[in-house]
Amino acid sequence: MGTGSHMTGDWSRWQHRGALLGLLLMVTATPLMAQENGQAEDPWGDEAWGEDPWAEQQTGWRWYGFLEGATATRLHDDPAVGDDYTLNEARLQLEAERALGDYTATIKGDVWIDGVEDGVRGDLREAALAGRLTDRIDVDVGRQILTWGTGDLVFLNDLFPKDYVSFFSGRDDEYLKAPADALKLSWFGDMNIDFVWMPRAAPNRYITGERLSYFSVVEGRRVAAPPTIDPRERDSLGRDSEFALRVYQTIDGVEYAGYAYHGYDNQPSAVDPSTGEAYFPRLSSLGASLRRPALGGIGNLETAYYAGEDSSGDNPNLPNDQWRFLGGFENEPFADFTLGWQYLLEWTRDHDAIIANLPAAQRPYAPDEYRHLLTNRITWQLLRQDLTLSLFTFYSPSDADYYLRPRAIYRFSDQLTGTAGGNLFGGADDWTFHTQLEDNSNLYLRLRYSF
């Protein structure tokens, strides 16, 4: 029986691979055919001016989207996860947009055949109505992607949901941001104000053990599903509301911002001692940022204070308060070559108390009082921007671990883009933030046909 179900699993996986291959072939063949047909008299092809979305008062829906084949193969066998791939999928994204007076309705959804989690999956990424309420107020209501703050792949005051599973497993950067159901009101005046209300908590798409393995402090080793991490949901409409606020202005090229957040931790970082169940604890934060031209580049500073559910360190099942500080600098030392640097400090306030209250077996896994993280981004554009080579490095001297994201993007045409890259994790101790993901290190390949 065990063998039977194993075979079925294998067979369905082969079917998915077949579908993926078919899609890849289709995707690559289409532009070739298009190229042959494209040698008509009008060098602009079918690109009529009238197609410009600003052309005139539009009516009806406009459709956009892409087809994408993506595969990411693990560099090592992962003893915790059976699959040799962190990603194996054929994806269709469709976006529909429609102007309704001063408003725009957007619906964007993904459907994909998933060869890792076996099955057809879907994700509604946007379903929102955005526009001008008055001369001074914009509104954006519905499912949407929300981003603010000055960090580059490092977030302090942006407590909107992230999808680290997608990010680590080899999907496009755009999937790092997960959608949230929200009402966003923006007021524009001497100071600009963004107010976001999420009527139910919008947590991260955190690592559950299904696609990626992680370190379990309880078991003291790297594990994966089953069992999956299955925390108590925060999905009660209204009662589980989250609020985010940003006040900002640019004065003489210097961008100032203040932030506040009241909601829940995006990770299921707390444990209910009575049931042993994980949950999303309360989190509030206050912060500020500054971004400005400096030394021929752009400099940024950002800070945030996280007030967790445990403000004394007495309860190791709850996250403690933290100060976070970020400093960054980016410049272009050579033409088409950009360098970015960041330093992040995470300071856990009551570290001594946490250590004292932890069971002795878990003490080694406790985060340091001061976690230092350095990042570097190198971007090099070649062939008139058809080829982009980049390397993003996370390195933590305190955790003694690293995470490398090398990547090459090539635009074969306006429709077809190929991306090859990697997510490479490593370090000294099994339990640190990046080292725990070591067995998930992968190299990926993606081919996208946009329409």
Residues that bind another protein (CB under 8 A): 38, 43-45, 47, 49, 51-57, 64-66, 99, 102, 130-132, 138, 140, 144-148, 173-174, 176-177, 186, 188, 192, 248, 250, 253, 255, 291, 293, 296-298, 330-332, 334-336, 338, 381, 384-386, 411, 413-415, 417, 448, 450-451
- Residue 157, judged by CB atoms within 10 A of its CB (0-12, 13-18, 19+), counts as buried
Give the count of beta carbons closer than 10 Å to the beta carbon of residue 76.
11
**Tokens 């909107």 map to which residue?**
160
What tokens does 348 get? 């856990």
Nearer Cβ to another protein (45/364): 45
H or E segment to which residue 28 belongs: helix 2-37
Residue 35 or 312 with smaller CB distance to another protein: 35
Distance CA 27, CA 14 (A): 20
Cα atoms found within 13 Å of the Cα of residue 340, Cβ hemisphere only: 21
Q: Which is nearer to another protein, 38 or 119 (CB)?
A: 38
| Contact call for residues 399 and 432 (beta carbons, < 8 A) | yes
Taking the CA atoms of the chain, what radius of gyration do you get in angstroms?
Answer: 23
Question: Whole-number minimum distance, CB 251 to another protein, in Å?
Answer: 12
Q: What is the Cα–Cα distance from 88 to 112, expressed in whole angstroms?
A: 10
The encoded tokens of residue 272 equal 């209910």
CB of 415 to another protein, least distance (A): 7
Of 77 and 173, nearer to another protein (C-beta) is 173
User: Measured from the CB atom, is 174 or 314 closer to another protein?
Assistant: 174
Q: What is the DSSP string of 104-149?
A: EEEEEEEEEEETTTTEEEEEEEEEEEEEESSSSEEEEEEEE----S
Nearer to another protein, 132 or 205 (CB): 132
Q: Considering the complex, state which of residue 122 and residue 333 has its C-beta at the smaller distance from another protein.
A: 333
Q: Report whether 251 contacts 209 (CB < 8 A).
A: no
In angstroms, give the least distance from the CB of 152 to another protein: 9
Q: Rounded to the nearest 5°, which phi and psi values hold at 438? A: -50, -45
Which pairing describes strands 119-132 and 137-144: parallel, antiparallel, or unpaired? antiparallel
**284: enclosing H helix or E strand:** strand 282-294
Q: Whose Cβ is closer to another protein: residue 115's or residue 149's?
A: 149
What is the token pair recorded at 15? Answer: 């079917």
- Cis preceding-peptide flag for 364 (omega within 30 of 0): no
Q: CB of 165: closest distance to another protein in angstroms? A: 17
What is the C-alpha separation between 228 and 428, in angstroms, rounded? 26
Which tokens hold the place of 409?
A: 């993007």
Q: Which is nearer to another protein, 244 or 278 (CB)?
A: 244
Minimum separation from the CB atom of position 439 to another protein (A)? 28
Q: How far is the CB of 105 from another protein (least distance, A)?
A: 13
Residue closer to another protein, measured from CB, 176 or 447: 176
Q: Give min distance, CB of 327 to another protein, in A.
A: 15
Minimum CB distance to another protein smaller for 163 or for 321: 163
From the list 375, 312, 303, 387, the residue with the least C-alpha distance to 342 is: 375
**Measured from the CB of residue 287, what is the shortest distance to another protein in angstroms?**
17
CB of 279 to another protein, least distance (A): 28
> CB of residue 357 vs another protein: minimum separation in angstroms?
39
Sequence length of the chain is: 451
What is d(CA 98, CA 422) in angstroms, rounded to the nearest whole number? 37
Q: Which residue, chain included where needed, has tokens 């190299």?
A: 443
Q: Output the smallest distance, CB 252 to another protein, in A.
A: 10
Contact assessment for residue 232 and residue 272, using Cβ atoms and an 8 Å cutoff: yes
